[in-house]
Amino acid sequence: MPRLPFSIVAGGALAVVTLGSIAGAYAYSHGLGGLLGTQPTANQIVDRFEAVSGKHPGFRRNHAKGVCVTGYFDSNGNAAPLSRASVFAAGRSQVVGRLSIGGGNPAQADGASNVRSLALRIVTPGGGEWRTAMNSAPIFPVRTPEALFDMLAASRQAHDATTYGDNPGMDAFMKTHPEAARFDQWLRDHPPSSGFDNAAYYSVSAFRLIDRDGHAQDVRWRVEPDDAYTPLAAAQTHDTDFLERGLAGRLRQSPVRWHMIITLAQPGDVTNDSTRQWPANRTQIDVGTLVVQREEPQIDGPCRDISFDPLKLPDGIAPSDDPLLKARSAAYAQSHERRLHEEQRYAAGK
């Protein structure tokens, strides 16, 4: 049975669960109880993230290392028949985003993660807002919050193991969650990109677009870079911060562009399982261009206090029945509560 390396589990596989810095719409300070029944609480999930990477006050519990970016999204209007969301009407919306790697240690080397992440806050001229957190892998290793909770425990054991392979916890996890092998295989088949700028980023979870008549269409989205993908070079790993350095150098040449592609589900395509991709023959629509013009350090940049909660959706975009979405949203709120408390203690000199 394939085994997920710790660097993947802690740094890459969990990248889709971007624990935000401020509360979103689901500010459940006491966890997920009542929202997700017997599933692990947000408090418990965040505790396990901290157990894997250690406590780093003031930083996000996952994706602690990242960089702020700003730019715009030019919609071409192609998605307007599918969704009444103003962001899909032809025109330009402003963007504040964040490029990052997985893991809760803000000082970790860029090479420690096999997955990059891109989170966006898109605001239309009329004030509509859409937040999305995307990952450079199109699937997730597990499909439920319970399995995520178990994977975090197994990854902690991997972290503590003295030698690679000396990890009965991860072995047991893989036996009880064989679906995780699909994610492991995808990473083996797709080496990490050499930069933030030449990676594609995926919604992973399914969502629903709602048109003006109330009709719903299940979709996933991704952004495809104009820059040609190149795999990570061995020499790059000697630079702890090669991703941010590379992005800064690339932006000195010109803005970086991605095309946003929406994939339409057909009847029978699963929407509640992020470990499975849809068939490659599904209809795909180019709906506009994301342009990043500037990058800034996250310590005081415009993305610092944004929670990229995937359930911060405008009218015309709705969540699917993917059980991870509500768990992610609640965990963002819990992470914010802790981070805010830490910042207040720091300001007070305690």
CA distances from 141 to 42, 87, 180 (A): 19, 30, 4
Q: Which residues contact 155 (CB under 8 A, 6 or more apart)?
A: 4, 6, 9, 10, 14, 52, 170
Say how many C-beta atoms besides its own lie within 10 A of residue 103's C-beta.
27
For the question of residue 159 being annotated catalytic, the response is: no
Q: Which position among 63, 190, 238, 259 bears the catalytic label?
A: 63
Contact 104, 90 (CB under 8 A): no
Q: Which residues contact 256 (CB under 8 A, 6 or more apart)?
A: 197, 225, 226, 227, 247, 250, 291, 292
Name the amino acid, one letter, at 309.
Answer: D
332 is in an annotated binding site: yes
Name the amino acid, one letter, at 41.
Answer: T
What ranges in 6-67 are assigned the alpha helix state H? 6-8, 42-53
Contact 225, 257 (CB under 8 A): yes
Nearest to 47 by CA among 63, 61, 57: 61
Burial class (CB in 10 A: 0-12, 13-18, 19+), 142: buried
Q: Which tokens is 333 given?
A: 């709120």
Q: Which residues contact 116 (CB under 8 A, 6 or more apart)?
A: 15, 99, 100, 101, 135, 136, 192, 193, 196, 199, 201, 243
Annotated binding residues for heme, written as ranges, equal: 332
What residues are labeled active site?
A: 63
